[in-house]
Structure 1
Amino acid sequence: MRFARRFLAPLATAVLLASLPALAEEPVCAPVSKVPLERHLRQLTLDLLGRPPTYEEYQAARAKGEVTAEDVRALMGKDEFYARVRGYHRALLWSNVSASVYNNANSRLSGAGSATDALSLRGNSSRPLRGANGQGCDSFMAQDVCTARQDTHVDPALPATADACAKERYDERGVPQPVSWDYDTNFYTCDRLDLSLPAGTSVKTCQEALTAKRLEDKDYYFCDMRRINIGTTSAPNLALVPHLCKPRTTTLTAVVDAADNNRVVAFTDASSRLDRCGLKLSQKRTNGLEIKGSYEPQRGCVQREGYVTRPAPFWSAGSPDVRVCAIEAQAREANPWTLEPCTTARFNGDRSCGCGEGMRRCEAPNGSTHTARIEAISEEPELLAESVVRRDEPYFNILTTRRSFLNGPLSELYRDPQQAVGVLSVTAPAAPEVLPNLPFAQADTWQEYVRDSEHSGVLTTPAFLYRFPTQRARVNHFYSAFLCKAFTPPDNARLPSAEDACNRENNLAKRCGCNYCHATIEPTGAHWGRYAERAALFLQPEQFPRYDPKCRDCALSGNTTCGGECGQYVMQAYDGDGANSLGLLKTYLYRTADEEKNIESGPALLVQRMLQTGDLERCTVRRVWQEFLGRPMSAEEQRLYLQPLADDFARDGHRFKALIERVVMSDAYRRID
């Protein structure tokens, strides 16, 4: 609205002047008309506070007869102004990372933790754990209590003692085993046997179905007691009902066991086989050998473990105990058989791992834990910027300060490296004893702390690192947001012919055509060289040295994964430099000695260098001008205002509020145009 108002007046003036005869004498510019007091106040409160003035504020301004610098400072002392500051920096930093962090939800739990709906992983994770997607455990059978069978007609007899129960329900190293099973309806069609019965006939078990001749004895092993809702949606009644399950693939031929009353024990054809289901798990095979402890469900079967009772998960600590599926309730750091780690994203496909202590490796059923983390990561740089402005510190502290803030979700994420494993890769910004200890539920409580020495304002927050996932993207946004510069080739740029060997140069800072921009981008990007790409990991020199001989040896032997330890290192050679750089931390590839100093000094050095050029001040003036006048500076305004405002900004100690004050008290802000 204000943008349109300011441009209508000059347009009308131009039309009027065009209709008048040419003047004989040199025209004299009339004084600039300024907006009335009330309109000036309205503009100020809308721009500074995001709302129109109150009646009392109008009255006070009329009584004074003008809006003074003291009035502007008073407005900038209100909380509404600091909310406005947060919004300004949210837009400047693009700090919303909700679309920048991929979450496949494989670690997200389902269920209510109730007596009929235990907490469990039911997405893609449930296939390697239980045999099919969308499958939880048996919420009606306790893992540690052997008093019932779901399929009593075919499962072994109940254990007679507690020791025998423990041996059945857990393997010798404590890994939970199935307590019940169902035929997988992706492979089988299962029809109820208790429907359309003659009057007075009841079929509640497979034995009764056999007696009522709803089931043939040969199909006995494929009679499946399945738990279904025989009530209504509003009044559910989950009960075990007998079903006859037959393969969906009609070409499969029944395999009978003559020694077992000629009952069907499998279905097969030339390429596949479906065996009768039971409580025994299969073992994975490698090179024809079974891998002990590497369990996988039987093909065509859903094999469920039971539930256990545990304290409430970390996201609702202090609440009543909940029912958790026995697999998810485990808290191991590694598979006790294979010693593969449970502290990586593989945990949700390994039957022996579980969600960890307090369910820390898993997410809440409604996704609220992930949402809370993403919102906290996105809000952190806004609060950091607000704190600098609120304290009237030099504005560019937002790019260099080690101070920051965290709430409950960030506190737990930083203090517990197993939280959000496989979703977020974040290095704790300080030692655990330095970090405020807040429970996850305190998402609205923010506490200040000081980060480790490698940090540099908003430029090393997880929000910035995730939102701009590569070194080049980080450089590009720094230049755009804080230097008002874009990477574009010069007008006279020319590409070489396709046959030119320069096109095959892997170093973009030297490749013809690319070097127009990358000669600046590459050395500048080195300032983020100790921060992993597509993550918020700081590559500590102690853990990630410039050169790792182990990685080089793996690369030379053709082992480019090297046990997963060399993902940050050069493991393949694409040119001569790459061949000489095997085992080198990737960020050091093609670097000069000066660029290596950029890597070790981090983004703080880049800010220090840019402060010597005056570009940071001029860009900030341009952005504040556009924010409060609703348009960029014209060429004439740049001549009149840009450098003087930048000089005043520097003399004022780079105080952001002082710059805003000068802009909104300027004639340009108050003009009727």
Structure 2
Amino acid sequence: MLSVSVLCVPSVYAQVCSPKQHQTELQYLRRLSLDLRGEMPSVKELKAVVEQGHVTEAMIDNMLSSTGFVHQVREYHRNLLWPNVTNLTLSNGNWRFGGNGTSVPYYLTSLGRKQRYRGYNARCLNEPAKFDSNGNITCKQETLKDRNGKPYTLCREGYVKIKPYWAPDKEYKFCAYDAQQAESAKHTNGRTYNCGESTAPKGCGCGPNMRYCMTNTVQAQLTKDLGEQLLRFVQNIIDKKQPYTNVITGKSLQINGRLSHYLRYQTKAGGIFINKEQNYSVPALKYSEGTRWVETQRKQLHAGVLTLPGFLLKFSANRSRANRFYNAFLCKAFQAPSSGLPPASDRCHDEPNLMKRCGCKYCHQSVEPAAAYWGRWMESGLAPLNLDTYPTFDDVCAGSSGRNNSNCRRFYLVTPGHPDEDPYRGKLRAYLFATPEMAKNIEQGPIGIAQKSIDSGAFGQCAATNVWQWLMGHAPYSQQSNIITKLAEQFKNGKYSFSQLAKAVVMSPEYKQGRLLNQ
């Protein structure tokens, strides 16, 4: 026998309730709750709307004060700023382990480290390490043949067991040379090196508890934390009801235990991305304190999300940073002319200055001055290039020895590729073809473009446009431009309250009626 269960709902709550006003208001409530909190309204809220005949302003205020709204704002900024950097590699093989610490001892993957330790591209033996009477590592010499049958000699050590910083309660196998605990060691050239900054001496390994090195798993977690750090920065502004302008001008920063360890111990070598200068104090937290976030204040050159690690690494070139700023906070794009480029044979393509080169100049006359605001920030990195450490002009970089200096090669023009570049030899790369305006932008830093956009009203206009598109589900129509302008004015007069901007949108007749009319 077929049994059918029927859920009885009072007619006043049904989808075809009467009068029609109830249905309209209930649909409005449902849309508000889904947009502002990401969840359906409660039965209590449905009942309140039916009894009062409409959605009250107090109900909207409650939604805007909810944790659900904070979550929605986080997702809104995830879509706006693209903070996913999990595809990036934070360290090279000099500092990154292969192996698993059990069946295969952890070993540093760098060819240079392997050859320095063992004389060949090989990891250690999977047996306990041995030491001489002075405590020095001993190795087992072997003569083997490569794939071409050519003999080679290497000397391999065994492993030691250590509790690494990422698993302080469990011992793992580490190749003994790689696991050396010394914080400094002497090179064969007679110089003493800091083992957290150099891989040159054979006596340098990964330091106490392997603090200078990481596994792929550690790296994956760090990149997730960098994205979370950016979203927490925005969340903090919303939670504390700070002006939304702080998103691009604020100086606060939250750091957890994993990022604290990374910044204190794994950045001094310069690595791929950063150096030891951050222009803020890093709280001394344990790596295991991954869920504990501590706030610190950033100093010179910093500006809101524009200098957060997640932003700088996601948009690794200064031009891409400027482009994302234009897209996200000015609602503008750098657009090339529809006519396209001249033929490839045209000599105008030989022009080294992109602000003058045919085709390129239409975008780059705007791109280059905007990118200049990040001129004192490392490209493909997240460290500031402070004036006292990185002067505008460097005599060493301008000289013949400049090409042998890693800092010169990376940050300064040492080998001009065109006669027009000769006057810039020895200058910080950001100053190549820089106009007086661009030089000023470089020294101001990202705070300059941030404040300029706020003062001009462009930031407020774009924020109103973005929030409208988020909540309405479509970009403003041309005939609605006056509405956006009014919202931007209210936004400014309301001290740039993001929640009040959202409130103004959802209380507008266009929001309430727009989707009912399929607009």
TM-score > 0.5, shorter chain as reference: yes
Q: State the TM-score, normalized to the length of structure 1.
A: 0.67
1:135-156 superposed Cα distances (whole Å, 9 cap, x missing partner): 333433x322xxxxxxxxxxxx
- Within 5 A, what are the aligned runs for 1:508-547? 508-547=354-393
Note closer, same or farther for the CA distance 1:619–1:536 as it changes in structure 2 (3 Å cut).
Answer: same
SS of the aligned residue for 1:435 comes to coil
Map 1:413-452 to 2 at 5 A: 413-418=262-267, 422-431=271-280, 434-452=281-299
2:487 matched residue in structure 1: 645
Which residue in the other structure is 1:358 paired with? 209
SS in 2 for 1:36: helix
- Work out the percentage of aligned pairs sharing the same amino acid: 30
Is the CA contact (8 Å cut-off) linking 1:35 and 1:670 kept in structure 2?
A: no
Distance change in 2, residues 1:112/1:521 (3 Å): closer
Partner of 1:583: 426
Partner of 1:213: none
1:570 alignment partner, one of 402, 413, 417:
413
AA aligned opposite 1:400: T
- CA 1:184–1:68 in 2, change beyond 3 Å: closer, same or farther? farther
Q: Is the 8 A contact 1:569 1:583 kept in 2?
A: yes
Q: Secondary structure at the match of 1:422?
A: coil
Q: Conserved in 1, the CA contact under 8 Å of 2:196 and 2:212? A: no
Structure with more relative contact order (C-alpha pairs < 8 Å, separation 6 or more) = 1
CA distance in 1, matches of 2:84, 2:49: 38
Q: Deviation at 1:354?
A: 0.9
Question: Given residue 166 of structure 1, which amino acid in structure 2 is its aligned partner?
Answer: S
Which AA in structure 2 matches 1:328? Answer: D
State whether structure 2 residue 258 is matched by structure 1 residue 409: yes
Look up the match of 1:303.
155
Q: Does 1:616 align with 2:459?
A: yes
Q: Shift of the alpha carbon at 1:576? A: 3.4
Letter in 1 for 2:87: A
Residues 113 and 119 in structure 1, CA contact (< 8 A), matched pair in contact too: yes
In 2, Cα distance between the equivalents of 1:108 and 1:587? 31
1:254 counterpart residue number: none
Q: 1:329 aligns with which of 173, 179, 203?
A: 179
Displacement after TM superposition at 1:570 (Å): 0.7
1:217-262 CA deviation, whole Å, 9 max, x = no partner? xxxxxxxxxxxxxxxxxxxxxxxxxxxxxxx74xxxxxxxxxxxxx
Q: Structure 2: how far apart are the matches of 1:35 and 1:398?
A: 39
Is this contact kept in 1: 2:335–2:363, CA < 8 A?
yes
Q: Are positions 1:71 and 2:62 aligned together?
A: no
Shift of residue 571 of structure 1?
0.6
Report the more deviating stretch, 51-60 or 367-376.
51-60
Note the 1:128-147 alignment, pairs <5 A.
128=115, 129-130=117-118, 135-140=123-128, 142-144=129-131
Shift in CA distance, 134/122, structure 1 to aligned 2, threshold 3 Å? farther
What stretches of structure 2 of length at least 5 have no aligned partner? 1-19
* Alpha-carbon distance between aligned partners in 1 of 2:71 and 2:270, rounded to the nearest angstrom: 33
Relative to structure 1, the CA distance from residue 132 to residue 122 in structure 2 (aligned partners, 3 Å threshold; closer, same or farther) is farther
- The gaps in structure 1 that reach 5 residues or longer are 1-31, 145-164, 171-175, 188-247, 250-271, 275-298
2:295 counterpart SS class:
strand
**Are the counterparts in 1 of residues 21 and 53 from structure 2 also a CA contact under 8 Å?**
no
| Contact map agreement 1:362 1:419 (CA 8 A) in 2 | no
Q: CA deviation at 1:497?
A: 6.1
Q: Which residue of 1 aligns with 2:14?
A: none
1:44·1:664 contact (CA, 8 Å) conserved in 2?
yes
Query: Kindly tell me: are residues 514 and 185 of structure 1, through their superposed partners in 2, closer, same or farther at Cα, counting changes over 3 Å?
Result: same
Distance 1:542 1:610 in 2: 29
**Structure with the largest fraction of helix:** 2
Match of 1:382 among 231, 251, 255: 231
The alignment's TM-score, normalised by the length of structure 2, stands at 0.86
Where 1:404 maps in the other structure, the secondary structure is strand
Give the whole-Å Cα distance in 1 for the aligned partners of 2:174 and 2:83: 36
1:315 partner SS? coil
CA–CA separation in structure 2 for the residues paired with 1:439 and 1:398: 28
Q: Which amino acid aligns with 1:444?
A: T
Superposed displacement of residue 520, structure 1: 0.7
Q: Secondary structure at the match of 1:517?
A: helix
SS at match of 1:406: strand
Partners of 1:469 and 1:533 within 8 A in 2: yes
Find the aligned partners of 2:273 and 2:127 in 1 and give their Cα distance.
31
**CA RMSD of superposed structures (Å):** 3.0
**Deviation string, structure 1 residues 310-352 (Cα, Å, up to 9, x no partner):** 4x222233x25555332022234455313485657873x8643
What is the Cα deviation at residue 134 of structure 1?
Answer: 6.7
Q: Is the 8 A contact 2:248 2:450 kept in 1?
A: yes
Larger Rg: 1
**1:106-153 CA-partner distances (Å, limit 9, x unpaired):** 633355656x7644336757752446667333433x322xxxxxxxxx
Paired residues in the alignment total 493
Which residue of structure 2 lines up, in the alignment, with residue 665 of structure 1? 507
